[in-house]
Amino acid sequence: MSNLEKTIQTVDTKSVDRLARILGAFDENLNFLSQELGIVAYVDGVKIRLEGEEKAVMLGVNVLSSLVKLAGNGETVDKGRMAYCIELAREGRTGEILSLEGGAVAVTARGKQIKCKTVGQKAYVDAIKKNTVVFGVGPAGTGKTYLAVCLAVAAFKSRQVEKIVLTRPAVEAGEKLGFLPGDLQEKVDPYLRPLYDALQEMLGLETYGKLMERGVIEVAPLAYMRGRTLSNAFIILDEAQNTTKEQMKMFLTRMGEGSKMVVTGDVTQIDLDGKDSGLVHATKILDGVDGISVCRLTAKDVVRHPLVMRIIRAYEKDVEDAEKRKSSAEEKKSRAKSRKE
């Protein structure tokens, strides 16, 4: 049978509960699978039948078979996870889907379990647990900052650390906090809002407020960290792509006994007016140092709307195309110069 011929395959979900988890609300997950692979998928009892071109159908079988196992262990299947599993299947990495099984990274104040949704996220979380300093580098939507906050709260609740310190370059090119209205807290609040939101979700608004008042959760703008030693703390530096090399060195050397640092950033969004990024420099010279881990998340690890993944890829392709055009132009220029000589 050639790949162009139609084939029919069946995946047995084995229970109504598993079937419901895989289908999603109004069968949106199954519909998404059909659209992405160009096949027909429909329910037959507790089984899912797939019809279409053989290669696409077998991809669908691989995806659904793995999701049946995940769903059987109580894992949630949504459109984002379905999209991610399809990507893994296309790359021949279906086996990695099952690595997403496991306990929660943390639990929110309302009892919601936070779990890794991609292989890259799991590697990132494992690295934070095992290492003292971790760099999480990747595009928006990969959960690098949110997961760091979740792990910081988990470490605080389990008394591994005594405080949580949040920091980031308050103004992308220079941290000129004096030009902003209000006291120190009011100056940095707008810049640290994503971190605040995550903390409030994890701790609850009341507990979060009390810990802020007691100084257990501390806002420490990068410009104000010189000369300090932070011991027994979980320290998060966000938007680190906008630190200079000097600022990054200063930050990393603030760490005291019993502390853990997570540095997050997106190297495609550097806004330093020609200065070298401290994040880019640090990940080059510190990668491989004992106790330090560099985790690089990609568009595949985006856990927002599936369209975000496509947007990021479009921008990445644009950069690649621009580099190819530049290389081609330079090659033509070089040939023209050689002919003249």
Instruction: Provide the CB-side half-sphere exposure for 8 (13 A, CA).
Output: 6
Domain boundaries for CATH 3.30.1370.10 within the chain: 6-100
Higher pLDDT pick, 285 / 88: 285
- Tell me the residue type at 180: L
- Cα(first)–Cα(last) distance of the chain, in Å? 60
CATH number of this structure's domain 106-301, picked from the four choices 3.30.460.10, 3.40.50.12710, 3.30.465.10, 3.40.50.300: 3.40.50.300
Give which of 140, 109, 143, 139 is closest to 123, Cα–Cα: 143
- As a whole number, mean pLDDT of residues 148-159 equals 94
pLDDT in tens, 238-278: 999 999 999 999 999 999 999 999 999 999 888 887 788 99
What is the spatial distance between Cα 90 and Cα 87, in angstroms, rounded to a whole number? 5
What is the CB neighbour count within 10 angstroms for residue 56? 18
Separation between Cα atoms, residue 238 and residue 217, nearest integer Å: 15
Enumerate the β-bridge partners of residue 35: none
Query: For 187-243, what is each residue's pLDDT tens digit?
Result: 667 777 878 888 999 999 999 999 999 999 987 778 878 888 999 999 999 999 999
Inter-residue contact 125 to 303 (CB < 8 Å): no
CATH 3.40.50.300 domain range(s) in the chain: 106-301
Which superfamily does CATH assign the domain made up of 6-100 to?
Answer: K Homology domain, type 1 (3.30.1370.10)
Per-residue model confidence (pLDDT) at position 100: 77
Of 70-79, 104-113, 168-177, 242-251, which range is least confident?
Answer: 168-177
Distances (CA, A) of 212 to 209, 232, 314: 5, 17, 41
> Does pLDDT of 173 surpass 50?
no
